[in-house]
Amino acid sequence: MACTFEKETIFFLQGNAQGTSYHITYISKDKIVSEKEIDSLLADIDASMSTWRPNSIISKINSNEKNVVIDTYFKTVFNKAVEVSEKTNGDFDISVGPLINAWGFGPTQKKSLNQNEVDSLLQLVNYKKVSIQDNNIIKEKPEIKIDFNAIAQGFSVDVLAAFLEKKGIENYLVELGGEIKAKGKKEQEKWKVGIEQPDAENTSERKLQAILNLDNRALATSGNYRKFYKEGNQKFSHIINPKTGYPAKHNLLSTTVIANDAITADAYATAFMVMGLQKAIAFVEKNKALNLEVYFIYDENGKWKTYISPGLIKQIEKT
């Protein structure tokens, strides 16, 4: 699909991947990127780090197969995850896999958990117990399982963006599962992206909370309303606190993070959901070198309120 614009054409690509969909818009004189190329890149990423594929590198590592050699994709994501874990003092942790599975958000069957079982699983959660040696992953305990789902989609967006740039494309927007990276402009304007209102009932209807101009940056959103299940009157979020072993529970409903790349935005969006509102705001203010902007939606006595970092306010257009 395409439409012409000042001798250049706006091209649109879309498809399904990683349990969600992707949408790519780029501006070029010719169609120089195809869905087939995008699908191939995403398949390579899945072959490296999808816990839903039994033959992926990460699944083989989690199953303790011998002599599993990691690829460049895996190493990049692992190293970034460790960097974010260290910055957040463990509020982000890719070794949370056993808890993800136990709570029913992984590829294995959900378990019924009591406090003792949660405490037992917590003994396996510590990113410092996993390391890279000579392109192999070393785990201190065989029961440790790695889960990249809080960072892999952001990384995938960066891979697709780098592919477009390698083709000489200077104006594009890449979106995968709500994670976005934009460069350049569309019709002489900065790319505009929407921030969704949290949807407590997980309906198909999507209402926008705000629209912002994305200027050569990446955006990711995490929210406890996006993936959850109910048991009785209790709602269980897919975002697991690696320190308590339980789904993150506080008044922060949604975290949108803008960063220089999508892998960074994705990881910190999850970390901030674990931290909670005040701790997340303090983190952003303290770590200005990370160049993060945030848009938080939170519940205060039953009313939704927002926190917008000062540097982002001028980029916001209210809906």
Residues annotated within a binding site for Mg(2+): 150, 266, 270
Helix or strand or coil: residue 5?
Answer: strand
What are the Cα distances from residue 7, in Å, to 33, 98, 187, 308? 18, 53, 12, 39
Query: Any idea how long the chain is?
Result: 319
Residues 6 or more apart whose CB falls under 8 angstroms from that of 281 comprise 294, 296, 307
Assigned token pair, 190: 């900065």
C-alpha span between 317 and 85 (Å, rounded):
33
Cα gap 265→263, rounded to integer Å: 6
What is the H or E stretch that residue 99 is in? helix 97-102
Q: Is 262 exposed, middle or buried (0-12, 13-18, 19+ CB in 10 A)?
A: buried
At 317, is the secondary structure helix, strand, or coil? strand
Q: How far apart are CA 138 and CA 187, in angstroms?
A: 50
What the block records as the tokens of 216 is 């050569």
Amino acid at residue number 221: T
Q: Which residues contribute to the annotated binding site? A: 150, 266, 270
**Strands of the sheet with 189-196, listed across from one edge:** 185-186, 189-196, 208-214, 316-318
Q: Are 92 and 171 in contact (CB under 8 A)?
A: no
- Spatial CB neighbours of 11, under 8 Å, sequence gap ≥ 6: 1, 2, 25, 26, 27, 28, 31, 33
Task: Give the span between the Cα atoms of 246 and 237, in whole angstroms.
Answer: 9
Q: Measured on CA atoms in the order 78, 81, 85, 86, is the torsion positive or negative?
A: positive
Phi, psi at 71, each rounded to 5°: -100, 180
